[in-house]
Structures are given as C-alpha cells and as structure tokens.
Amino acid sequence: MIQGINDDREVYLNGEFLPLSQAKISVLDRGFIFGDGIYEVVPAYKGKPFRLDEHVARLMRSLSKIKLETGKTAEDWKALMKAMIDRSDYENTFVYLQVTRGVAKRDHAFPRPAVAPTIFMIASPFDRPSEHYREDGLRTVSMEDVRWLHCDIKSVSLLGNVLAKEYALEREVDDVIQFRDGYLSEASSANIWVVKGGKLLAPVRDNLILEGIRYGFIEELAKKVGVPFEARKISKEEVAQADEIMFTSATKEILPITEHDGKAVNGGKPGPVYRQLRQAYDEVIEQL
C-alpha cells in the first residue's frame, strides 16, 4: 500500500482504467527522469467538475509551452476528466491529471520521433475547508522565491515548491508567502491576495506565478460583491502592512491568512473582504 492511500481505487493510465496497484510506468519515463511533464488539479462538487473549461484551457497552455503534442482536443480532455469523476463516488473529488513526454532512452533532447506521452489520472476525495480554517485562518512566513522563471507552467518539476512547503512546516506554520526581488509572487501551491484600503490586490499574471483557476474566479466574485480589484506588483512592505491577506487554491478554495511573519493580520481574525468573497464562493458552489 502507498502511504496515505489505503484503498485500491481505480485510476487511469494510458487509455485504460485499472486498479492503482496495477498502474505501472517505466523507470525511464521522462516525468520520473527529468520532471518533463505537466499536471492539472480539477475539483468537482457532488460529481460536477468546477471550471472545467478553464482547467482544460490551462492544461493545453502548459502542454503547448513545453512543446508536448498529445493529439488530444479540449473535448477529449474534458471527456477523460469527466469519465474519471463519474467513476469515483466521493462527495467532493479532485482529479489529478499528469502528462509526461513518455518513455525513452535518457537523453535531454526530446525523443525524435516523438513517443507516446504518459497520461495518468487519479481521483481523490477532499473536504471543503472546515470552520476551523475558515475562522482561525492560516499562518504564513515570508520566503525568497528561488524557483525558476516559468512558474506560469503547471510543471511537475515542483522541487522549489516542495522545499518551500517544507520551509514553512519547519517553522511550524501552514505555508510560505514567496517574494522575488522584494515583490509578492505566491504560496507554495496557492495564489495570494492582499487587501489595502478596501481594494483587493493580486500580483500580475505573468511568468512569475501560476495563474490559478481561482484567480479569474475571485476576480469575478470581487466584481459581483462590489470590491475593487487591481493586478499589480505588490511589495513585501505592503504585504507586511496589509489589512487582509488571503490564499486560494482548488481544494482550499479561499482562506484567510491571519498571521504572517509572527504578526497578526486584521487582529488575527478573517477580515470583511474575505467574508464577502467566502460567502459569494459558497453560494456559487451550493448552486452547482
């Protein structure tokens, strides 16, 4: 058994659904050897995928940015993910999908001719954030962002993100807030939002952050509840003095950060903008 997975759930590998214990790939897979692949994480509520079009569009952007041709269309990817969700009967599911450049002799150059990509999917249950997280929030520490300059690609080469998460856990907090050259980028696996004087701020969607699917969604919710939004460079000082700080990702949805670098944010309580966005988020999910 695999640590943390004590069932033999059905997964998808290269065209078939099969038990996890039977899903095997070669040690020469370029995902294993080089981290040469990309992934997606798609949440589904009561069997309904959330923002699937946007997730598939980002998947196809990642594939195109690493020049990985799969021959699959957006419709093909959507059908695959829906099939995975339909086969799982969790209340809330997230699908992890990974595509690598396939199996070939170890050589940095892409295989020529190209080989079949490895396509893997696993569905797992997730709990929507508990009252504890919604009310007590998360604690974070600052960290220099030392990752590469293509953070916009949802690459499986996540060593920088893994070490960032570990940096936080060693300091007994939930996550890091990373800064590059003094400006906010993101957490180890989530986007960060800041409120200053009633305005919601987020870093610009460039190569220095992964554009979360929640990014566009929160922007829409901010408009809906009447909170002005601006994407711009945000300095470390602005984060230190923020009225509110928030965290978004597929499974954590939106959560308040109530302590950063040992200092309470908004008196250690979720702030008013968080509450508005959280309520609007819940309403959308409940109406799915």
Q: Nearest approach, Cβ of 158 to ligand PDD (angstroms)?
A: 7
Instruction: Give 173's contacts (C-beta < 8 A, 6+ positions apart).
Output: 138, 139, 140, 141, 259
**Smaller CB separation from ligand PDD, 70 or 251:** 251
Does 154 qualify as catalytic in the annotation? yes
CB 11 within 8 A of CB 20: yes
Q: Which one, 54 or 243, has the nearer CB to ligand PDD?
A: 54
CB of 282 to ligand PDD, least distance (A): 16
Query: Where along the sequence are the contacts to ligand PDD (CB under 6 A)?
Result: 41, 161, 186, 189-191, 210, 212-214, 248-251
Q: Which of 72, 154, 196, 199 is catalytic?
A: 154
Which of these, 167, 169, 171, lies nearest to 179 by C-alpha position?
A: 167
Per this entry, what is the length of the chain?
288
* Least Å from the CB of residue 233 to ligand PDD: 17
Give me the DSSP letters along 194-246.
EEETTEEEE--SSTTS---HHHHHHHHHHHHHT--EEE---BHHHHHT-SEEE
CB of 146 to ligand PDD, least distance (A): 14
- Closest to ligand PDD by CB, 62 vs 266, is 62
Q: Is the dihedral angle over the CA atoms 125, 130, 134, 140 positive or is it negative? A: negative
Structure tokens at 195: 């409120």
In one-letter notation, the amino acid at residue 108 is H
Give the residue nearest to ligand PDD (CB).
212
Amino acid at 246: M
* CA dist list (Å): 268 to 48, 133, 258, 264: 35, 12, 5, 5
Cβ proximity to ligand PDD: between 104 and 257 the closer is: 257
Count of H helices and E strands in the chain? 8, 15
Residue 152 CB, shortest distance to ligand PDD, in Å, is: 10
- Residue 99 or 250 having the CB closest to ligand PDD: 250
Q: How far is CA 99 from CA 60, 66, 116, 141, in A?
A: 11, 11, 10, 32
CB of 64 to ligand PDD, least distance (A): 17
Choose between 118 and 248: whose C-beta lies nearer to ligand PDD.
248
Burial class (CB in 10 A: 0-12, 13-18, 19+), 53: exposed
Q: Which residues are catalytic?
A: 154
